[in-house]
Structure 1
Amino acid sequence: MVTNLFLKISKLKGSIDGGVVASSGRVFVSNVLPGRIWKFVFLCAFSQQVTCRQDLLQSSAIAYRYGVSGPFWYASGATVQILLFATIAIELKRRAPNAHTFLEVIKARYGIEAHLVFTVFGLMTNILVTAMLLTGGSAVVSSLTGMPTPAACFLLPLGVVMYTMFGGIKATFLTDWVHTFMLLIIILIFSFTTYATSKTLGSPGAVFDLLVKAAADHPVAGNEGGSYLTMKSTQGAIFFVINIVGNFGTVFLDNGYYNKAIAASPVHALPGYIMGGISWFAIPWLCATTMGLAALALEGNPAFPTFPLRMSAADVSAGLVLPYAAVALLGGGGAVCTLLIVFMAVTSASSAELIAVSSIFTYDIYQTYFNPGASGKRLIYMSHAMVIGFGLFMASFSVGLYYAGISMGYLYVMMGVIISSAVIPATLTIMWAGHNKWAATLTPPLGLACAVITWLVTAKKTCGALDVTCTGSNNPMLAGNVMALLSPLIFTPLFTLIFGVDHYDWASMAAIRKGDDHDLAQEAHMDLEAIPGERDTPVDEMEVEQTKLLRASKIAKAMTVVLTLALLVLWPMPMYGSGYIFSKKFFTGWVVVGIIWIFGSLFCVGIFPVFEGRKDLWYVFKAIYLDVTGKKHPSAYHGPTATFTEGKETGTDTPPAAEGKEIPGEVAEKS
């Protein structure tokens, strides 16, 4: 509704960004122009994409299992991929400025064989992520409302399909801000209730005392002293490795991340990724430190839904720790807050997955192999069909997983086994000119085969069975995940030795053509020359942009190395090695740091985007007022030939009106 309102007010389907079609031919994924996504809007959208529903539910479940170490292992193990992806995103914009999807880059460099392999891995990534969203979300909705889980699996994607189909990536950018802002507010409500206002808990000290009691009643195997208040956790460390491996796959192979990287301007992509990663860290860390530990502290309270019993392993794996803790803390209000954050996280993350899958089917399958000469209008039609088709498929698939007993937690630790063998080949595609075609083509499927064999053999040897419980345990998943990520370190040198080092010149990536948007532009009465990316860019402008990207690439590499070392080594490892068990004062400081950090995230993704877009927001709200009151139609303020140049206000370089005609914006000013 919000998206369509913005489109209506802007008359042309380009709204405040200036175009009905995405520049560089991104006709279907957008309605928003690359180069016009500000850094804070970008990091807001990016933060919301990575804040999938499983982040909040899964991180709380890990905190319930392993104590204070769980939230940190979860957050740090998933943040480093976001930071490292900043380097890949910058290099992608340098090497292939007109690419619609990452898979186009694969085809441009290696040809059809590798393209088909990476298409399969990309689709598997999107299917796994969407399945986690729907299985976890439906379990929470069912537990809080009594709705049958199969019905929830079909109802949750319905609204997402509708607004994604009509709004494209603009729908995700607009709703991402609202969803992220509300999600952060709800996390703060949970935090202040747990650590300040609750009559049952009400302070970090009270939570600390109850955690000490919980450790005495049911100590954690593998934790220092059986305590929930230590970073030294054997099973937590195993999850840490699994988490790192799996998230490499979901970030580096998810076309949704590349879509947002493509949509961002070169100047804003780097700070967007860096600040987005740092801002996101606080979300699962504080949420799990609050709700996971609150569940442990409140299990002995009659207000807890499972009282007097502990939560079952199935409920924990399904992601019900957070909703149970919310109900125990806030009653019906907690249930409402949980439903809100689940709905918002599911819809925002699912919309990104829908767009990613739609882009793959539209550009990398339909246009590439079935209709190379497809017009922009035809591509949009196909993208809409794919959004609907994928939504129905995933709803049905999630119902099947429910009846098979496969939960969100199982999918989360399994995803690395299935997809992470393609991470290193995908990275080398952008980063190394010597990576040859056959190393890229053969390594991912061979790595997948090795990972699955390792996973199942380890499960059989350690548990003696191949059921859901055994195959989902930590040791088999650890073996399979590590094999998936590291097997390319064996296969890539082997195939390089056999087939030789490639001497790639990056020319075929740079030559990726733009899509045909002329029919859409003509229908919207727009001049493609007025749209950045569609006009012929002078050589000097291209050189300036490449210089900016090269500088951003160097900064990204340095920043990611420093931050990765800080989050993976300098902060956690001394605490793990020492076996330190938190004191009450240290635990209080730990919580305070998390709350301060989440306020920083709130400013970055909640307040700064509004400030950054204040002029365009003023234009939109003024246009709405004028349209509603009937004083003046908003189209009078929109010059369809207005152009945008980096560093200048919108419309600064507006071309002169044709003889005998006036530019609409000038008419409005004169009147």
Structure 2
Amino acid sequence: MAIQLLSQATGYGIIIGLSIAFGIIIIAAVKIQKRYLSEDSNHSEMFMVANRSVGTGLTASAVFSSWMWINESVFSAAYTYKWGVALPIWWASGLSFQIALMAVLGIVAKLRVPYAHTSLEFMRRRYGSYVHGIFIVLNLINNIFGCGSMILAGSQLVTGMTGMHVVAACILLPAGVVLYTAVGGLKATFLTDFLHTTIALILLLYFAIAVLTSEHIGGVSGLYDKVRAQNDYIEGNYAGSLLSFKSKSAILFGLVLKFGNLALVLMDTAFWQKSFASEVSATVPAYDLVSVVILAVPWCTGTIIGLAARAIEHTPVWVGYPETLTLTQVNSGLVMPYVLESLLGTGATTGLLVLIFMAITSTVSSSMIAVSSIISLDLYRTYFNPGASDRKTLQVSHIGVLCHGVFMAGFAIMLEYAGATNNWSTYFRPIISCPGIFPMMLTILWSRQTKLAAFLSPILGLLSGLATWLSLSWYWYGAINIQTTQAQIPGLYAAIVSFFSPALYSVIISLTISPQRFDWREFLRMELIEEKSPTSSTAPTIRASETALAEGEGVSTVNAEDEKNAPYQMTIPAAPSESSEAKNLDDVVHPFPEETLVEIRRWRKYAIIYLVLNILVTIVLWPLPLYRDWIFTKTFFQGWVVMAIIWEFGALCAVVIYPVYDGRHAITITVKGMLSERWLKKRV
């Protein structure tokens, strides 16, 4: 029987109140940026890719926030409750290598598609409209299911905690995001990502430490003793122990999650846009830094909260005593709320509701920018009004944000009444999202993929994955329904087929049917979105960090005195002119100066080396040696948990404290500008 932990008034108050608060904060921030930092979200380049000017610190914070869905905190605790200590590490390793891979793709994109706004733009440039159309559909499907399942998971959590009607939660959670996203664009999502990350990490650290130090847990040693004392037997774990890393269910779930999250990243143009928006010198350092610290969230939160639930579930302190959690409640993510209410009280549970709001709105905000960019650039400006002005393109983007918000609320409600859960979405999403991964990566990595291969391979991969999923569900469980299609083995096999088969199809088709070689210079014909006028030939101006100025990334010289009194700016090389379409490829040159290209290639080398090391460490050298007939000793467990907490403090330093330091100059300029303006008003 579900227990209402908070009142409906608390649920409505937090969701509506925080939506209004964030709207006010972002509107104010946008006005301040426009006034003091020359950053105007009324231009498409700023709205969609933040003028490609975001520094390392803010990029790191935004990337961290993008990967820290409620899955990584709330649901990692729930699945640790189900399968034990192995689950958080398999979860964390999946997050880490994806971010490292995105660092490679992001820096390659800087080199080969320097003026892309969405990942779909370079698909069209290389293959034409038919392939472009296929990937628009794949991107929208991935975005809709990813965002919709997140809204649904959050809504079900809010409903389980407060008793709020799930339909109301599905509508209210994305509603507030529409306002500040439409006003502030991608830079607004970076700023809200920073706020989300700050609040979420502080709350997660508090939850972990407060739960551990609770008198009913008794520290790390007490947690170990209480978990060992339980008679819980976990099927598939060595000796049935929660404290054994040898867990069949955990490793299978981890593999499915790796495919699903990889698809969610690469097939969602929102993740590409964050790399497009970052400075050349910020992309690889920011992504690789986050790939290290992201391990902390599922590792620390999942381990402590998930095992704490097992430790107290059969004691009178448990909020639902003598009843224990049902499988439905666990799959709905109610493990963490119940633990916090039992050990820390209503205040902590309310804090968790704030955390849930933060995680969901961050996800929805990025999704809105991504989909609005697809609507405005890949559909409207490509097929309906190619000559659309910057202002008109921006208007369509705003409409896209609004429409996507309304649609996602309705889609989440549909999933709810269809009986879907976050658990079902976890197994379904990789099957429909993975087929486009290899064809998209090969578009900027392999010159020999042909148009036919790019068109057919994702379709064949999707059909192969769906056939594997449904046939195995029927073969092993005798029916095809919501329950049988969320079983682990059919979902894993289908994800593997959906992921790898398009690569096989693409290589075979490319090398056997009209083989060709693509000239990468063709991508350099892509342009920035600018207001076209007969007299306008200047390059857009975007701000840059002091470091970028000093390193000379194609930056104009700045007078030292002017630099003290004006926003940081850099002049990026002008985009190819309209006549570039008619130019011979031999006449097309890269818009970046040679020193910037050298820097990009250097970062690309570092990113590739780090990706290989990351995979070796986080997937092979760290977890696999622990996968044996062994149960954690108390000493090992104590070190394991303490290190997880230290890692989370490291994450706080990397994505909260460092961004403030990295942006200190812009902050100083803004504060000085505001104080000077106030002083002048007083004088007048």
TM above 0.5, one fold?
A: yes
Matched, 1:610 2:678: no
Q: Give the Å deviation of 1:207.
A: 1.1
Match of 2:250 among 230, 236, 250: 236
- CA 1:132 to 1:505, structure 2 compared with 1: closer, same or farther past 3 Å? same
Q: Give the structure 1 partner of residue 272 of structure 2.
A: 258
- Residues 3 and 170 in structure 1, CA contact (< 8 A), matched pair in contact too: no
How far apart are the structure 1 equivalents of 2:322 and 2:637? 27
- Residues 229 and 582 in structure 1, CA contact (< 8 A), matched pair in contact too: yes
Give the counterpart letter for 2:479 in structure 1: A
Q: Give the Å deviation of 1:473.
A: 1.1
How far apart are the structure 2 equivalents of 1:514 and 1:27? 11
Superposed CA RMSD: 2.2
How far apart are the structure 1 equivalents of 2:109 and 2:375? 21
Matched, 1:3 2:17: no
Matched, 1:553 2:604: yes
- Residues 358 and 387 in structure 1, CA contact (< 8 A), matched pair in contact too: yes
Q: Give the structure 1 partner of residue 14 of structure 2.
A: none
| TM-score between both structures, scaled by the size of structure 2 | 0.87
Q: Give the structure 2 partner of residue 591 of structure 1.
A: 641
Give the counterpart letter for 1:33 in structure 2: N
Match of 2:299 among 266, 270, 285: 285
- CA 1:627 to 1:303, structure 2 compared with 1: closer, same or farther past 3 Å? farther
Matched, 1:153 2:170: yes
Matched, 1:180 2:215: no
Matched, 1:270 2:289: no
How far apart are the structure 2 equivalents of 1:304 and 1:498? 64
Gaps of 5+ in 1: 634-670
Match of 2:214 among 193, 198, 209: 198
How far apart are the structure 1 equivalents of 2:333 and 2:148? 14
How far apart are the structure 2 equivalents of 1:411 and 1:305? 29
Q: Give the structure 1 partner of residue 527 of structure 2.
A: 513
- Residues 317 and 410 in structure 1, CA contact (< 8 A), matched pair in contact too: no
The C-alpha deviation readout for 1:142-167, integer Å capped at 9, x for no partner, is 12221101100000001111110101
Match of 2:383 among 356, 362, 369: 369
- Residues 126 and 254 in structure 1, CA contact (< 8 A), matched pair in contact too: yes
Q: Give the structure 2 partner of residue 562 of structure 1.
A: 613
Match of 1:33 among 15, 26, 51: 51
How far apart are the structure 1 equivalents of 2:257 and 2:541? 48
Matched, 1:47 2:64: yes
Give the counterpart letter for 1:547 in structure 2: V
- CA 1:263 to 1:377, structure 2 compared with 1: closer, same or farther past 3 Å? same
How far apart are the structure 1 equivalents of 2:361 and 2:511? 46
Q: Give the structure 2 partner of residue 646 of structure 1.
A: none
Q: Give the structure 2 partner of residue 638 of structure 1.
A: none
Give the counterpart letter for 1:608 in structure 2: Y
SS at 2:187's partner residue? helix
Q: Give the Å deviation of 1:527.
A: 7.6
How far apart are the structure 2 equivalents of 1:532 and 1:436? 36
Q: Give the structure 1 partner of residue 225 of structure 2.
A: 209
Q: Give the Å deviation of 1:303.
A: 3.5
Q: Give the Å deviation of 1:129.
A: 1.4
Q: Give the Å deviation of 1:541.
A: 5.0
The C-alpha deviation readout for 1:629-649, integer Å capped at 9, x for no partner, is 66379xxxxxxxxxxxxxxxx
- Residues 528 and 575 in structure 2, CA contact (< 8 A), matched pair in contact too: no
Q: Give the structure 2 partner of residue 353 of structure 1.
A: 367
- CA 1:71 to 1:536, structure 2 compared with 1: closer, same or farther past 3 Å? closer
- CA 1:527 to 1:114, structure 2 compared with 1: closer, same or farther past 3 Å? closer
- Residues 27 and 379 in structure 1, CA contact (< 8 A), matched pair in contact too: no
Q: Give the structure 2 partner of residue 16 of structure 1.
A: 37
Q: Give the structure 1 partner of residue 9 of structure 2.
A: none
Q: Give the structure 2 partner of residue 600 of structure 1.
A: 650
Q: Give the structure 2 partner of residue 653 of structure 1.
A: none
Matched, 1:620 2:670: yes
Give the counterpart letter for 2:29 in structure 1: F
How far apart are the structure 2 equivalents of 1:454 and 1:621? 59
Give the counterpart letter for 2:396 in structure 1: M
Q: Give the Å deviation of 1:531.
A: 6.3
Match of 2:117 among 100, 112, 116: 100
Match runs of 1:308-387 below 5 Å: 308-387=322-401
How far apart are the structure 2 equivalents of 1:542 and 1:136? 47
Q: Give the Å deviation of 1:440.
A: 0.9
Gaps of 5+ in 2: 1-23, 543-555, 557-568, 577-588
- How many correspondences in the alignment? 620
How far apart are the structure 1 equivalents of 2:247 and 2:34? 58
Q: Give the structure 2 partner of residue 476 of structure 1.
A: 490
The C-alpha deviation readout for 1:133-184, integer Å capped at 9, x for no partner, is 2111111211222110110000000111111010111111111111111111
SS at 2:321's partner residue? coil
Q: Give the Å deviation of 1:299.
A: 1.1
Q: Give the Å deviation of 1:628.
A: 5.4
Q: Give the Å deviation of 1:309.
A: 2.3
Q: Give the Å deviation of 1:211.
A: 1.4
How far apart are the structure 1 equivalents of 2:506 and 2:654? 40
Matched, 1:140 2:130: no
Give the counterpart letter for 1:199 in structure 2: E
Q: Give the structure 1 partner of residue 137 of structure 2.
A: 120
Give the counterpart letter for 1:532 in structure 2: T
Q: Give the structure 2 partner of residue 533 of structure 1.
A: 572
- CA 1:373 to 1:500, structure 2 compared with 1: closer, same or farther past 3 Å? same
- CA 1:118 to 1:198, structure 2 compared with 1: closer, same or farther past 3 Å? same
Matched, 1:496 2:510: yes
- CA 1:76 to 1:399, structure 2 compared with 1: closer, same or farther past 3 Å? same
- Residues 190 and 290 in structure 1, CA contact (< 8 A), matched pair in contact too: no
Q: Give the Å deviation of 1:246.
A: 0.8
Matched, 1:575 2:626: yes
SS at 1:29's partner residue? helix
Matched, 1:459 2:455: no
Q: Give the Å deviation of 1:50.
A: 1.1
How far apart are the structure 2 equivalents of 1:324 and 1:564? 35
The C-alpha deviation readout for 1:36-64, integer Å capped at 9, x for no partner, is 31101110011001111222222112211
Q: Give the structure 2 partner of residue 430 of structure 1.
A: 444
How far apart are the structure 2 equivalents of 1:348 and 1:539? 35
Give the counterpart letter for 1:623 in structure 2: G
Q: Give the Å deviation of 1:259.
A: 0.6
- CA 1:104 to 1:297, structure 2 compared with 1: closer, same or farther past 3 Å? same
- CA 1:100 to 1:541, structure 2 compared with 1: closer, same or farther past 3 Å? closer
Q: Give the Å deviation of 1:3.
A: 2.6
How far apart are the structure 2 equivalents of 1:514 and 1:136? 38
How far apart are the structure 2 equivalents of 1:21 and 1:580? 59
- Residues 157 and 350 in structure 1, CA contact (< 8 A), matched pair in contact too: yes
Q: Give the Å deviation of 1:364.
A: 0.5
How far apart are the structure 2 equivalents of 1:59 and 1:540? 45
Q: Give the Å deviation of 1:302.
A: 2.9
Q: Give the Å deviation of 1:551.
A: 1.0
How far apart are the structure 2 equivalents of 1:414 and 1:222? 23
Identical counterparts, % of pairs: 34
Q: Give the Å deviation of 1:33.
A: 2.2
How far apart are the structure 1 equivalents of 2:466 and 2:541? 53
Give the counterpart letter for 1:16 in structure 2: L
Matched, 1:307 2:321: yes
Q: Give the Å deviation of 1:390.
A: 0.7
How far apart are the structure 2 equivalents of 1:114 and 1:632? 61
Q: Give the Å deviation of 1:117.
A: 0.9
Give the counterpart letter for 2:637 in structure 1: F
Q: Give the Å deviation of 1:625.
A: 4.1
- CA 1:540 to 1:255, structure 2 compared with 1: closer, same or farther past 3 Å? closer
